[in-house]
Amino acid sequence: MSEAARDSADIPKEERTASYPKAYTSALAWTFFLIPAALGIVGDQWLKLYSFPNPLPADSHDWIFAGRHPGVDPTTGVAQAPWPVIPNVLGFTTTINQGAVFGIGQGKVLWFLAFSVVALAIILWVFITSSAKHRVVHFALGLITAGAIGNLYDRAALHGVRDMLRFYVDWYPYIFNIADVLLCIGVPLLIIRWTFVKDDKPGKAPA
């Protein structure tokens, strides 16, 4: 064992973990956080603009007919099948969701706005207080930030979230967007990382 390794081994685990620089001092940590956040927001908003090229109807009751390919044909009132994006896997159909994930809490836009703002503050706090070596944490936080901001903008500007993607399976009838996908990847990734990766193992930098 080298002299440096022996010196490191003599330092208590708590001190070794605390000795890592914080994320806010690291350009690489900011890169792992901001790049997925920026790309996610751009991708989410681009698809939403493509899916809803025209302003939403003033009456929210008419939102069922909004978008490039709504679930109900606005001229006939007949239900329309989704356009295939990936045949037999993923389809395209537009709708406006005034609730949260899975349509929960329809119409409670102000509650969801407040929750989103608090969630973003917590995300920033977790990033700032994390170690500069926590690459997986920073990447997951970037995905979560993109998802939160993407849907926060819709709720603040439109009072409803623009959705357009749907799986061809009966057991999952919900329509979603890219922001939802990013949240569904980022949150489990963060949980798995915190659950299975230990930061204080000797000789290993945190992931």
Instruction: Give the active site residues.
Output: 163, 180
> Which residues 6+ apart lie within 8 Å of 180 measured at CB?
101, 147, 151, 163
Largest CA distance in the chain: 79
Ordered alpha helix ranges (H), 159-203 = 178-196
* Angle between helix 27-51 and helix 135-158 axes, rounded to 10 deg: 30
**Other Cβ atoms closer than 10 A to 195:** 8
Cα 7 to Cα 4, 38, 172, 204, 205, distances in angstroms? 5, 41, 55, 15, 16
Q: Any bridge partners for residue 22, and if so which?
A: 131
